[in-house]
Structure 1
Amino acid sequence: MNVHAPLALSLLNASASAFAADVAEALSQHPKRLSPKYFYDEAGSELFEQITRLPEYYPTRTELGILRSRGKDINAIIPKNAALIEFGAGATTKVRLLLDECDVGAYAPVDISGDFLQAQAAELRRDFPGLKVLPVNADFTAPFDLPADIRMMPKVGFFPGSTLGNFEPHEACAFLRSARAILGKDALMLIGIDLEKDEKLLHAAYNDAAGVTGKFNMNVLVRINRELGGDFDLSAFTHRAIYNKERHRIEMHLIARKPQTVHVLGRSFAFRAGESIHTESSYKYSIERFAALARGSGWEPKASWTDADKHFSVHALMAVE
Structure 2
Amino acid sequence: MFRIDRNLTADELHKSLRADVAEGLTARPKRLPPKWFYDEHGSSLFEEITGLPEYYPTRTERAILEERSDEIARAADAVALIELGSGSGVKTRLLLDALGRHGTLKRFVPVDVSGDFLAASARRVADDHPGLDVHAVVGDFEHHLGLLPVNEHDGREMLAVLGSTIGNQAPAARGVFLRAVHAALDPGDTLLLGADLVKDPERLVAAYDDAQGVTAAFDRNVLTVINQRLGGDFDPGAFDHVAVWDPEREWIEMRLRARSHQRVRVADLDLEVDFAAGEEMRTEISAKFRRDGLTAELDAAGFTLTHWWTDPAGDFALSLSTVR
SS in 1 for 2:256: strand
- Per the TM alignment, residue 119 of structure 1 is displaced from its structure 2 partner at its CA by 2.9
- Per the TM alignment, residue 21 of structure 1 is displaced from its structure 2 partner at its CA by 2.4
| 1:274 counterpart residue number | 278
- Per the TM alignment, residue 149 of structure 1 is displaced from its structure 2 partner at its CA by 7.5
SS in 2 for 1:197: coil
1:156 to 139, 158, 162: 158
| 1:6 counterpart residue number | none
In structure 2, how many angstroms separate the alpha carbons of the residues matched to 1:48 and 1:288?
30
SS in 1 for 2:146: coil
Aligned length, in residue pairs: 308
Q: Which deviates further from its counterpart, 106-115 or 252-261? A: 106-115
In structure 2, how many angstroms separate the alpha carbons of the residues matched to 1:19 and 1:99?
33
In structure 2, how many angstroms separate the alpha carbons of the residues matched to 1:316 and 1:217?
31
In structure 2, how many angstroms separate the alpha carbons of the residues matched to 1:280 and 1:230?
20
In 2 relative to 1, CA 113–233 (structure 1 residues): closer, same or farther, beyond 3 Å?
A: closer
CA deviations 1:52-76 (Å, max 9, x no partner) are: 0100000000000000001222122
| 1:96 counterpart residue number | 93
- Per the TM alignment, residue 226 of structure 1 is displaced from its structure 2 partner at its CA by 1.9
User: Identical aligned pairs, as a percentage?
Assistant: 44
| 2:52 counterpart residue number | 54
For 1:42, the aligned partner's letter is E
CA deviations 1:277-301 (Å, max 9, x no partner) are: 1000000001111111111111110
SS in 1 for 2:217: helix
1:211 to 213, 228, 231: 213
SS in 2 for 1:301: strand
In structure 1, how many angstroms separate the alpha carbons of the residues matched to 2:94 and 2:215?
27
For 1:145, the aligned partner's letter is L
Q: Which deviates further from its counterpart, 208-217 or 84-93? A: 84-93
In structure 1, how many angstroms separate the alpha carbons of the residues matched to 2:167 and 2:254?
13
In 2 relative to 1, CA 291–207 (structure 1 residues): closer, same or farther, beyond 3 Å?
A: same
In structure 1, how many angstroms separate the alpha carbons of the residues matched to 2:35 and 2:232?
18
Structure-to-structure mapping, 1:167-246, within 5 angstroms:
167-246=169-248
For 1:290, the aligned partner's letter is L
For 2:139, the aligned partner's letter is A
In structure 1, how many angstroms separate the alpha carbons of the residues matched to 2:113 and 2:208?
26
In structure 1, how many angstroms separate the alpha carbons of the residues matched to 2:194 and 2:115?
24
SS in 2 for 1:247: coil
CA deviations 1:75-97 (Å, max 9, x no partner) are: 22122x52111112211111110
Instruction: Give the 4+ runs in structure 1 shifted more than 4 A.
Output: none
SS in 2 for 1:192: strand
CA deviations 1:244-272 (Å, max 9, x no partner) are: 00000000000111122111123111111
| 1:84 counterpart residue number | 81
| 1:3 counterpart residue number | none
| 1:141 counterpart residue number | 142
In structure 2, how many angstroms separate the alpha carbons of the residues matched to 1:87 and 1:19?
19
Q: Contact 1:56/1:204 (CA < 8 Å) preserved in 2?
A: yes
**TM-score, normalising length: structure 1:** 0.91
**TM-score, normalising length: structure 2:** 0.91
In structure 2, how many angstroms separate the alpha carbons of the residues matched to 1:114 and 1:243?
32
1:73 to 71, 74, 79: 71
- Per the TM alignment, residue 146 of structure 1 is displaced from its structure 2 partner at its CA by 4.1
In structure 1, how many angstroms separate the alpha carbons of the residues matched to 2:243 and 2:91?
26
SS in 2 for 1:76: helix
Q: Which deviates further from its counterpart, 286-295 or 244-253? A: 286-295
Any gaps of 5 or more consecutive residues in structure 2? 1-9
In 2 relative to 1, CA 38–150 (structure 1 residues): closer, same or farther, beyond 3 Å?
A: same
1:44 aligns with 2:48: no
| 2:124 counterpart residue number | 123
Any gaps of 5 or more consecutive residues in structure 1? 1-11
Q: Contact 2:151/2:185 (CA < 8 Å) preserved in 1?
A: no
| 2:27 counterpart residue number | 29
- Per the TM alignment, residue 232 of structure 1 is displaced from its structure 2 partner at its CA by 1.4
**Rg larger in 1 or in 2?**
1
In structure 1, how many angstroms separate the alpha carbons of the residues matched to 2:243 and 2:191?
30
SS in 2 for 1:184: coil
1:291 to 291, 295, 303: 295
Q: Which deviates further from its counterpart, 117-126 or 311-320? A: 117-126
Q: Contact 1:106/1:150 (CA < 8 Å) preserved in 2?
A: no
In structure 2, how many angstroms separate the alpha carbons of the residues matched to 1:52 and 1:85?
22
| 2:258 counterpart residue number | 256
- Per the TM alignment, residue 200 of structure 1 is displaced from its structure 2 partner at its CA by 1.0
